[in-house]
Amino acid sequence: MAGIAVMLLLSAGPAFAGNLAQAAAKAEALAAAGNAAGAHDLMRGAIGDFSETLPFAIGKAVFVKTDPAGYAMYDPKQGQVFKPGETLVSYVEPVGLNWKPAKDAGKIQSHFTVDLDILSATGEQLASQKAFGDFTFTGFLRNQEIYATLRTDVSGAAAGDYILRFRFNDVNSGKSASIDQKFTIAAGAKAP
């Protein structure tokens, strides 16, 4: 019986990959025929379709030096130590967002909110804010290059170790995903 269960699990994986593999083969044929735009559009659609099968999650969360210029266009902060009064800037990529028809004909929309908790190093909740961030993306396709820039002011916090917890709430699906970022406020002079 265990052998059958393993066989079923193994055969379930390629079904998802099969659609991507088929799209990739068609895209390669389009590109070889000189239709680069068609190949690109086909793969973008296939990735969008595949992403709808993914559970809602956080793909990446990093502290950054300044606001990102765009998706994956950021300068990561080295380390997680901040000066007193320094603003925490987080770059976060949600994955598996749900898209619904938008009010504008032919467009679709993704919408998520972000809740914020600041915890002590031992997990005690020190501060909390619901809908700290509220993001809506509207367009003609299920864009996968979505990120949130989240700025957190911790200027009143004492020196020490903390946890910044963001809870992303996909409004369209009702699903949530959380990510923790540990950080330290150093003792000493305030940031300029």
Contact between 117 and 127 under an 8 Å Cβ cutoff? The reply is yes
For position 13, what pLDDT does the model report?
A: 40
Burial class (CB in 10 A: 0-12, 13-18, 19+), 164: buried
Distance in angstroms (rounded) separating the CA atoms of residues 54 and 70:
23
Q: What is the DSSP string of 67-110?
A: --SBTTB--BPSSSEE-TTPPEEEEEEEES---EE-SSTT-EEE
What's the predicted TM-score (pTM) here? 0.85
Strand partners, 111: 136
Residue 73 predicted with pLDDT over 50: yes
Distance in angstroms (rounded) separating the CA atoms of residues 41 and 92:
26
- Mean pLDDT for the chain overall: 90
Residue 192 predicted with pLDDT over 80: no
For position 19, what pLDDT does the model report?
A: 86
For position 152, what pLDDT does the model report?
A: 97
pLDDT in tens, 27-44: 999 999 999 999 999 999
> What separation in angstroms does the CA of 83 have from each of 60, 114, 141, 154, 190?
24, 25, 41, 10, 6
pLDDT in tens, 95-132: 999 999 999 999 999 999 999 999 999 999 999 999 99
Residue 22 predicted with pLDDT over 50: yes
For position 189, what pLDDT does the model report?
A: 65
Contact between 154 and 191 under an 8 Å Cβ cutoff? The reply is no
Residue 2 predicted with pLDDT over 50: no
Strand 81-82 vs strand 175-185: parallel, antiparallel, or unpaired?
A: parallel
In this prediction, residue 23 has a pLDDT band, given cuts at 50, 70 and 90, of very high
Strand partners, 174: none
For position 8, what pLDDT does the model report?
A: 31
In this prediction, residue 52 has a pLDDT band, given cuts at 50, 70 and 90, of confident
The percentage of residues in the chain with a pLDDT greater than 90, rounded to a whole number, is 83
Distance in angstroms (rounded) separating the CA atoms of residues 70 and 145:
9
> What separation in angstroms does the CA of 46 have from each of 81, 86, 90, 110?
41, 42, 29, 18
The residues, ordered by sequence, that sit 6+ positions from 160 with a Cβ below 8 Å of its Cβ are 120, 121, 184, 185
Residue extents of the structural domains in the chain: 2-51, 57-185
Q: Backbone dihedral region of 145: left (phi > 0), alpha (psi from -120 to 50 degrees) or beta?
A: beta
Written as six digits, the tokens of 130 are 């619901």
Written as six digits, the tokens of 43 are 């793969």
Tell me which CATH code domain 57-185 carries. 2.60.40.2550
